[in-house]
Amino acid sequence: MKFTDLVDEIELPTTNVAQGAWAAARRRMRRRRTAVVGASAVLVLVVSAVALRGAPEPAQPFVEDPVSVGPFVATDFPADSDKVRSESNLPARVTEDDVRADAPRLFDEPIEQAVLVAATVYDFDERGYDDQRITFYGTDGETRSLVLSDLGLTQDEFQGVDGSGLGNLSPDGRRWVFATTKRIVVLRLADLDVVSLPVPDGLQPINATWTGAGTITYGVAEKYSLTVETDLDGSVTRRGSPPSRVFRDRDGRVYRFQSDETSRLLISEPGGAEVSLSYSLEDGEFGPGAINPPGLSSFVDDLGDDTDFARDDGDSALKLFKRVDDRLVPTARLQWGDRLTGDEILGMPTSDSVLIRHGEDLCLWAPFAEQAITCLAEISDRLGISVAFDVVRID
C-alpha cells in the first residue's frame, strides 16, 4: 500500500464547501462593478467641473481622484540609495553570519535604543532558550546579542518556531515584546527591566506586537480570530474577535476594517464615539496592510491575492489611502511585478510612506518623494526581523 492510499483512508466529515461558492463569487464581482461605476461617475463629474471652471490649478501632491491614482510601477527595487542608507539608522546589510557572529551580551552591556532585531528563523526549530539568540542593532551602531535564557524563561514555555521567537520592538525602539507559550514578556533595553504579563485563561499567546498606543496586542493560538490587548501592567483592555484587520494609533483610536460586506473602515475614538468611513476599490478587496501610528489617516492595501493572482505569478498592488471627509480615497498605487504578500508590508513610518521587505531588500515606498522607492538595507531572507519604525530616519 502506498502513502497516498493510506491518506485516502483517513476518514473526514463530508464537506459541502462548494455549495454557494458561485453565488458568493457573483456577489463579490457585483460589488466591484459598483465601485467601478461609482469611480467613473466621479471622473465624469470632475471632468465636467474642470470644463466649467477653466484651467485647473497646479498639480497638488496628493491626487484624490481614485481614477487618477498612480501607477508607480516597479519590478525591482533600485539599490542606489547610499545617502538614505547611511542616514536611516538601519545597518546597510545584515547576513546570517552577522547575526550568528559573537556580539556582547545584551544583559552584560545594555543599550538604550534599537532600530532592528534579527534572528535566524530556521534556528528556532526544536531548540531551547539556551541556544536562542536575537541580535539587537542599536541606534549607536553597535550590536548586542540577547540569549533568551537570560530572561529567566524556562524550557517548558519554549515556543519552538520560526519568527515567533523574534518578538517585536516598540515603535521607539526602547522596549521589546516577546511571547512564550504561557506569557508575554516585555524587556526595557536600557535597564533590562523584565515585565511578565499573564495571559487570560491559560491560553497560548502568539505574535505579540505593539499597537502604536503603547499597549500590546497578541493573538491566541487556540483561536485563530481572537486577539487580546493589554496594558503594560497586565490588565486586558480589549478582547474580541476582530471582523478583519485591526490597528490602533497612539491616541487610542481603533481602526477596524469591514471588508467582506460593508466596505467600511470603523474608527473608534477613545471616548467611545465611532466614525465610519466608506471606501471603494475598483479592483479588489482589502488585504493585509498597515496604518501609520501618528498619521491616522492612511493605510495600505494588498490586492494581489484577489485580482491578479489568476495570472499565475501575477502582479500585486499596494495602495495608499487618505481620509477625505467620510471617505477613504486612494492617493497612490504601487503596481508590483512580483507577488507581494501581506507580511512583507512592515509598516508605515510616516503617513505617506510604507516600509516593505521583499526578498533581501528592505525598502521604503514614498510615492510623493522625489525617489518613490528607496532601499534602506539588505537583509538576508533567512532572517526574521522587527523594525522600530519611529527610529528609522527617512529624510
Cell of 216: 500590546
Nearer to another protein, 113 or 164 (CB): 164
Amino acid of residue 350: T
Minimal distance in Å, beta carbon 98 to another protein? 21
Pairing of strands 246-248, 236-240: unpaired
Nearer to another protein, 138 or 304 (CB): 304
Which of 95, 149, 196, 207 contacts another protein by CB under 8 A?
207
β-sheet with 345-347: strand ranges across: 93-94, 373-379, 361-365, 354-358, 345-347
Q: How far is CA 56 from CA 40, 47, 52, in A?
A: 19, 10, 10
Give the number of other Cβ atoms within 10 Å of residue 248's Cβ. 24
Which of 125, 191, 261, 395 contacts another protein by CB under 8 A?
125
Residue 55 as a binder of another protein (CB under 8 A): the answer is no
Strand, coil or helix: what is 306? helix
Segment contacting another protein by CB under 8 A, of 24-32, 255-263, 292-300, 320-328? 24-32
For the segment 331-370, give every residue that binds another protein (CB under 8 A). Answer: 339, 341-343
Which of 164, 217, 280, 298 contacts another protein by CB under 8 A?
164
Q: How far is the C-alpha of 45 from the C-alpha of 37, rounded, in Å? A: 12
Which of 188, 305, 314, 369 contacts another protein by CB under 8 A?
305
Contacts 24+ apart (CB under 8 A), 75-78: 75/336, 75/337, 75/338, 76/337, 77/358, 77/361, 77/363, 77/373, 77/375, 78/371, 78/373, 78/374, 78/375
Nearer to another protein, 64 or 306 (CB): 306
Residue 24 as a binder of another protein (CB under 8 A): the answer is yes
Nearer to another protein, 207 or 215 (CB): 207
Residue 168 as a binder of another protein (CB under 8 A): the answer is no
Minimal distance in Å, beta carbon 15 to another protein? 4
**Where do contacts with another protein occur on this chain (CB under 8 A)?**
1-4, 6-18, 21-22, 24-26, 28-29, 125, 159-164, 166, 204, 206-207, 219, 221, 224, 288, 305-306, 309-310, 339, 341-343, 384
